[in-house]
Structure 1
Amino acid sequence: MTVNFSRHNLPSGPDSERLAEQVDVDLFRRIDRLEEKTEVIDFAFSSAILSLRAHCVTDPRAAAVETWEAAVNAMQLGSAFFAVTGITEGHVECRINRKMRALPAARGPRSSADAGNWLSAFWLAVICREQRRMTELCEIPLDRLRAPEGAYDEYIYHWVDTLQTYWLQRPGLVEKLTAAIEMSDPSVARIAPVDLLQGQLYPPINLFYHFVTRDTEGFAPALIETLKLHQAYWTLTEERATDIDGSIALGPLAIACLAYDGKFPIGVESDYLPKHLLQHTWLGEFPT
């Protein structure tokens, strides 16, 4: 039996469509500047994620090719972001927005190339089923992803380490996942607000636990609970309830994609998990 979990109401209609169009105009302008300088690549990456969320407001099932293209652009920029910040000279050849581009190395270290943005880039690579990019991201040393002290709780590094270990099939997965779970407990974590931790940050870790332990019976209930927490977080205040950042649950969607490809019964349909992204309907539509 499949449960239908409704997304909370978000502003829709012509205004939302115009917002998506304007976000894309700004994004494409930033993308076209990247071959001149990569100082704006972190802003371009953020804009690309915003574009994906905006498209999912008006196209909640991701039935339009434009929504898939928004996902691909975000994925390509996430990979490019970490590629250009990983070198100090020369260029990196990257396909972004249907075009191969030679992006120059970033000048100096970028504090934004951290564990938080790594998670977003990795989720997007999973959603787009880009295994090569997943591998490249997982080969980035953990020390390179450390943000200035006070930016993140320590759990996030255990979480990134867990995902890298899983994908690269390194030893110690159970111990690393256990550490991520324990360190993300509100009694241990001190930097992230409790509502953010419980509503957004911890649920993907718990969901991944059910996936990686092959708990096919427990995965769907855990996914539904994750969506309930996502919705509770994004409807806690009036301001959040209209924020398009809540339109999709990016991390849970990525883990659901892993489960879907692993033949898990997903057990829930929701606009928080756009159907055609989950089921990779558009895969191969154009080069990624």
Structure 2
Amino acid sequence: MTVIVPRQDYPKDGMAAAVPVMEESLSEALEGIETSHNSRSGAVMESLNVALVRTVGDPDSVMRETWESWRLAMQVHSAVFAATTAPDRETVTCRVRHEERHLATTGPQTYLSAHTWIDAFYLAMICRDAAGLDMLARVPVSLLRAFGGRLDEYAYAWVETLQSFWLRCDDLGAHLVRAVNLCVPEQARTLDGDEMAKLCRPPVMMLYRYLRGDATGFNESLADALRQHKEYWTADEDRKVIIHGIVAIGPLAIACLAKANGLPVEVESGYLPEALLDFAWRGECDAQAASGA
């Protein structure tokens, strides 16, 4: 039986009016993405924000503009990490918004945190970008630690879990157990316990259920993840209008993984845009890849 988890309401007119301004800011950031760290940091933030805001008025992501915004967010997030994985080269070539961009290679930067990596991996899973996932799975965790910030240890354990999963490593179980143990409110240092419990932990538990092939448990954990996502982003008036609550990106990514590998997804929600979950733009991606777009 399909479970439905409604999404909270957002001010559609106000957010639609903000899209042109956000797109202009994103375009400016993309102009400097090849050499400027400020531009790369801005492009990472703005690209995801544009995708989220477009999804307010197009909750199933059925419009081409909405899909393109999610694809662009994926490209930007992958590109900034690709520029960290080729130290023997001066530039790396990445396709961003239908153009070849030659990004100067870099070392640790403040915007290359474990949290940004997790977003990048989620976006690549949503867009079914195997090449991007291969690249991200090989980003050294030591580089993510070296950026200088102080993050909860769970973030690094989750990165190692996702990398081990994608690369089919024998240590996946150990990394997953560590992530489960660290992703609890009692272990929160930089995040608040509510965020750790309701936003960070659910995707970890979904992956656990997926790996066991437990379709019933997986769908129960997905529905629970969406309910907790809603609880977190509707806890007060300030949170209700923050755009990061529009889509449950982590649960969506793990649900896309399950869907792509034959595990039935029996949950419907505005937090899970249907066209993204079903990869409805598969043919469009194939056509663009064939044409080099």
C-alpha separation between the residues in 1 aligned to 2:217 and 2:163? 24
Distance 1:188 1:29, change over 3 A: closer
- Structure 1: unaligned runs, 5 residues or longer: none
CA distance in 2, matches of 1:109, 1:2: 44
**Where do 1:86-101 residues align within 5 Å?**
86-87=85-86, 90-101=90-101
Structure 1 position 36, deviation (Å): 4.8
Counterpart of 1:80 in structure 2 is 79
Alpha-carbon deviation of 1:199?
1.3
Note the C-alpha offset of 1:111: 2.4
What's the CA shift string for 1:16-49, capped at 9, x where partnerless? 2121222112111211222353442021011101
Partner residue in 2 for 1:131: 130
SS in 1 for 2:110: coil
Distance, in Å, in 1 between the alignment partners of 2:146 and 2:10 is 33
What is residue 170 of structure 1 aligned with on the other side? 169
Say whether residues 1:17 and 2:16 are aligned partners.
yes
Q: Which amino acid aligns with 1:152?
A: L
Cα distance change of structure 1 residues 111 and 16 upon mapping to structure 2, 3 Å threshold: closer
Superposed counterparts of 1:60-209, under 5 Å: 60-87=59-86, 90-106=90-106, 109-146=108-145, 151-209=150-208
Deviations 1:62-97 (A, max 9, x none): 010111100111010011111223445511111101
Contact persistence 2:126–2:256 (CA under 8 A): yes
Change (3 A) 1:132 1:267: same
User: What secondary structure sits across from 1:135 in the alignment?
Assistant: helix
Q: Does the Cα contact within 8 Å between 2:246 and 2:271 map onto a contact in 1?
A: yes
Aligned-partner Cα distance in 1 for 2:212–2:173: 9
148 and 103 in structure 1: CA distance in 2 versus 1, 3 angstrom threshold = closer
**Which residue matches 1:34?**
33
Worse-matched range after superposition: 94-103 or 268-277: 94-103
**Cα deviation, residue 8, structure 1:** 0.6
Q: Which moved more, 1:143-152 or 1:22-31?
A: 143-152
Q: Secondary structure of 2:186's match?
A: coil
Which stretch shows the higher mean deviation, 116-125 or 211-220?
A: 211-220
- The alpha-carbon deviation at position 187 of structure 1 amounts to 2.2
Give the Cα separation in 2 of the matches to 1:255 and 1:147.
27
Residues in 2 aligned to 1:259 and 1:233: alpha-carbon distance in whole angstroms: 24
Is contact 1:159-1:177 (8 Å) kept? Answer: yes
Normalising by structure 1, what TM-score?
A: 0.94
- In structure 2, the residue matched to 1:257 is 256
Give the percent of matched residue pairs that are identical in Structure 1 and Structure 2: 35
For residue 147 of structure 1, report the CA deviation from its aligned partner.
5.2
Question: Given that residues 127 and 253 in structure 1 are in contact (C-alpha distance below 8 angstroms), is that contact kept between their aligned partners in structure 2?
Answer: yes
Q: How does 1:47-58 map to 2 (within 5 A)?
A: 47-58=46-57
Contact kept? 1:38, 1:104, Cα under 8 Å? no
Contact residue 126 and residue 277 of structure 2 kept, 8 A = yes
Q: List alignment gaps of at least 5 residues for structure 2.
A: none
In 2, Cα distance between the equivalents of 1:49 and 1:148?
21
Residue by residue over 1:97-116, the C-alpha shift from the partner in whole angstroms, topping out at 9 and shown as x without a partner, is 1111112224x531221211
- The RMSD of aligned alpha carbons is 1.6
Give the helix-richer structure, 1 or 2. 2
Q: Runs in 1 of length 4+ with deviation above 6 angstroms?
A: none
Q: Which residue of the partner structure matches residue 2 of structure 2?
A: 2
TM-score, normalised relative to structure 2 = 0.93
